[in-house]
């Protein structure tokens, strides 16, 4: 996949960070590109090294002309997006694990994610059991009241 990625970016003349999504064909074993995003992907923290340097920190240091600290890749780390793999978030990870939503120093994003996930799961269960209600569920975070904007105003902001 590295050779394929390098060939693609060389052919495009692309420089910078990007996020590629591949799928492996079960029949042929070949990898196929699904998505090319010229930005940091959601898994950028998976690639943090022994110096704590990840893709976004490396980009910031490069853009500000500062040197990148020396570090070695960390093999065996796991990155878990809790709402996609809730049980994996609970399993032991000998090589280390980083969670997408939960952080010990800021627990609010994790709490919000779990509240929304539980609401989603309960709604899906009610749908399958045929006990859905027609009343919409209120948002978790109330929005500030603001005057309605026209499409032209929205496009120019």
Say if residue 91 is in the same domain as residue 102. Answer: yes
Average pLDDT rounded to a whole number, residues 106-122 = 90
Range of the domain at 106: 79-131
Residues 6+ apart with CB under 8 A from 58: 68
In this predicted structure, what is the pLDDT of residue 149? 47
pLDDT band at 139 (very low <50, low <70, confident <90, very high): low
- Parallel/antiparallel/unpaired status of strands 97-99 and 78-80: parallel
In a domain, 145, yes or no: no
Say if residue 47 is in the same domain as residue 33. Answer: no
CA distance 21 to 8: 13
Q: Find the range with the poorest average confidence among 26-40, 46-60, 86-100.
A: 86-100
In a domain, 66, yes or no: yes
Say if residue 84 is in the same domain as residue 127. Answer: yes
pLDDT tens digits, one per residue of 8-52: 999 999 888 888 888 888 899 998 888 998 888 877 777 788 898
Say if residue 51 is in the same domain as residue 31. Answer: no
- DSSP secondary-structure letter at 61? H
Q: Is the pTM of this model over 0.95?
A: no
Say if residue 47 is in the same domain as residue 61. Answer: yes
In a domain, 147, yes or no: no
Say if residue 89 is in the same domain as residue 125. Answer: yes
% of the chain surpassing 90 pLDDT: 20
Strands (E) in the chain, as ranges, are: 19-24, 31-37, 78-80, 97-99
The tally of domains found in the chain comes to 3
Say if residue 34 is in the same domain as residue 3. Answer: yes
pLDDT tens digits, one per residue of 140-153: 665 555 555 444 44
In a domain, 116, yes or no: yes
Strand, helix or coil for residue 6: helix
In a domain, 117, yes or no: yes
């Amino acid at each position: 996949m590295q050779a394929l990625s390098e060939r693609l970016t060389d052919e495009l003349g692309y420089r910078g960070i990007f996020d590629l999504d591949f799928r492996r064909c079960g029949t042929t074993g070949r990898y196929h590109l699904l998505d090319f995003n010229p930005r940091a992907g959601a898994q950028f923290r998976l690639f943090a090294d022994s110096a704590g340097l990840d893709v976004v920190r490396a980009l910031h240091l490069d853009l500000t002309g500062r040197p990148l600290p020396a570090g070695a890749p960390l093999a065996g780390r796991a990155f878990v997006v809790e709402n996609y793999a809730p049980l994996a978030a609970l399993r032991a990870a000998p090589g280390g694990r980083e969670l997408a939503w939960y952080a010990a120093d800021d627990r609010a994003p994790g709490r919000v994610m779990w509240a929304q996930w539980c609401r989603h799961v309960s709604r899906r269960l009610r749908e399958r059991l045929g006990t859905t209600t027609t009343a919409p569920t209120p948002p978790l975070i109330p929005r500030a009241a603001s005057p309605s904007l026209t499409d032209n105003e929205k496009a120019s902001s």
